[in-house]
Amino acid sequence: MEGPHAGPGPVVLDLAEKGDREAAALGDRGQCQVEGAPAPAHGVPESGARLTGGGAVHLIDLRGEDVHTWRLPYRPGRHARILPGGDLAYNGVLPGEEALFPMWHKYRGGVLGVYAPDGTVLREYRDPLQHHDAHHLDDGGILYTALEPLTDAEAAGVRGGVPGSEAAGGTVWADTVKEVDAEGNEVWSWRAADHLDREAFALHPDYAREHWPLINSVTPLADGNVLASLRSVSAVVVISRATGEILWRTAPGTVSQQHHPTELPNGSFLVFDNGVFRPGHDVPYSRVIEIDRAGDIAWEYHDPARESFFAPFMGSAQRLPNGNTLVTDSPAGRLFEVTAEGLLVWEYVVPYFGGYEEAEVRGLFPAEPNAVFRAYRYAADELPWLEAGR
């Protein structure tokens, strides 16, 4: 559905969660119906963007119609977005890598590239241990998440998780955050093993011990520090760029297996709170919350029937210039926009389906869903090449 309060500008849908085959992305339209994507209401621009898998990246408008396509040589590694100036930042999956543990192929990346609108490779950086997120900086550098194996002593100190669920050889893989410059030189790094208290950041008891603490989002803050989401320990933290120490964290129980925290102009954080294993609730539900620096929830959206909106994995939220919030209900492939009062004013369901290439992941996830990792909306003036080509 769409209404008069829908925010302006195009939408980027990032289908980088699944390795959609190109045939599924391009050829199945006749078998799929786009739900909830009628013509825009009066005053809403009709340009937009969608990012889909299998190396085919599509730009769609708010009607759900394709307006541009990139063709890239790698299947998606979770995340993509359009950079200032209109080039595409895309995390691709590095071919030929072995699975570090059963879930590794599900969220690994390895190729961090920037591509012109015509698909020309402008630059690529490779790290086979990169996963989930990468933030391309204005100076050409990249801030991203990666893995490292812990020593036996370090692994023994990790608390929580299912006993005996370590990776092969008893290995616990832990997160690092790295920054490289435009030439690929490492200029900053951070180790979870050096800076996270094991008791305060213990794995949920139902999670595997193969990966700790599972950072699924990382972004620089206005003050130069780093905001990160630690999914498997249910915490959002601010990391000191100068010392590596944890300057701020959500209080225990505030978020549950969350994704995609972002800083708002007022200094608060917008978070997609998945709600898996939410304390004190027997029926799970997801929500989007705004948390101020005092740790208080200043704003919250959940479905009026709470259980009707539950995304057990992935998810994102973007605060739009008009004050509305764009929400990605990832497993359902559903994007929707809500006002500050919680009124639904725009909705779109992704009609493209696809599965994983790797047999290890296909065995765990045999279905071919329309899941979406994140979505972004852009104004027309952020895509000058698109308007010029019309």
Among 310, 306, 304, 209, CA closest to 256:
310
**Are 87 and 114 contacting, i.e. CB atoms less than 8 angstroms apart?**
yes
Distance in angstroms (rounded) separating the CA atoms of residues 22 and 19? 9
Round to whole Å and give the CA distance between 205 and 259.
19
What pLDDT sits at residue 232?
A: 98
**What pLDDT, on the 0 to 100 scale, is given for residue 51?**
38
Which residues, in sequence order, are bridge partners of residue 334?
Answer: 329, 349
Q: Is 57 exposed, middle or buried (0-12, 13-18, 19+ CB in 10 A)?
A: buried
Q: Given this model, what pLDDT does residue 236 score?
A: 99
| Residue 12, pLDDT score | 60
Residue-level pLDDT at 317: 98
Instruction: Give the per-residue SS3 of 125-167.
Output: EECCCEEEEEEECCCCCEEEEEEEECCHHHHHHCCECCCCCCE
State the Cα angle at 219 between 75 and 267, rounded to 5°.
145
Among the listed residues 87, 111, 139, 157, the one whose alpha carbon sits nearest the alpha carbon of residue 16: 111
Other Cβ atoms within 10 Å of 355 Cβ, number: 18
Query: What Å distances lie between residue 56 and 6, 131, 333, 375, CA to CA?
Result: 28, 20, 17, 16
Tokens 């369901």 correspond to 349
> Which strands sit side by side in the sheet containing 76-82, from one edge to the other?
76-82, 88-93, 110-115, 121-126
- Cα–Cα distance, 379 to 381 (Å, whole number): 5
* Residue 288 main-chain phi, psi, to 5 deg: -115, 130
What is the C-alpha separation between 373 and 300, in angstroms, rounded?
21
End-to-end CA distance of the chain: 27
Closest CA to 25 of 76, 96, 81, 82: 76
Asked if the peptide bond before residue 213 counts as cis, ω within 30 degrees of 0, the response is yes
Note whether 209 and 158 are within 8 A (CB). yes
How far apart are alpha carbons 32 and 54 in whole angstroms?
18
Neighbours of 10 (CB within 10 A): 24
> What are the tokens at 54?
């299998």
CATH of 11-388, one of 2.130.10, 2.102.10, 1.20.58, 3.40.50: 2.130.10
Q: Count CB atoms within 10 A of the CB of residue 97.
A: 14
Q: What was the pLDDT predicted at 372?
A: 83
pLDDT of residue 352: 78
- pLDDT at residue 97, rounded to an integer: 92
Task: Note the Cα 251 to chain centre separation in Å.
Answer: 22
Q: Which residues of the chain have pLDDT under 70?
A: 1-56, 389-390
User: The pTM is what?
Assistant: 0.87
Tokens of 342: 């919680």
User: d(Cα 22, Cα 112) in Å, to the nearest integer?
Assistant: 20
Alpha-carbon 24 to chain mean position: 22
Q: What is the pLDDT of residue 338?
A: 97
pLDDT digits (tens, 9 = 90+) for 145-181: 999 999 999 999 999 999 999 999 999 999 999 999 9
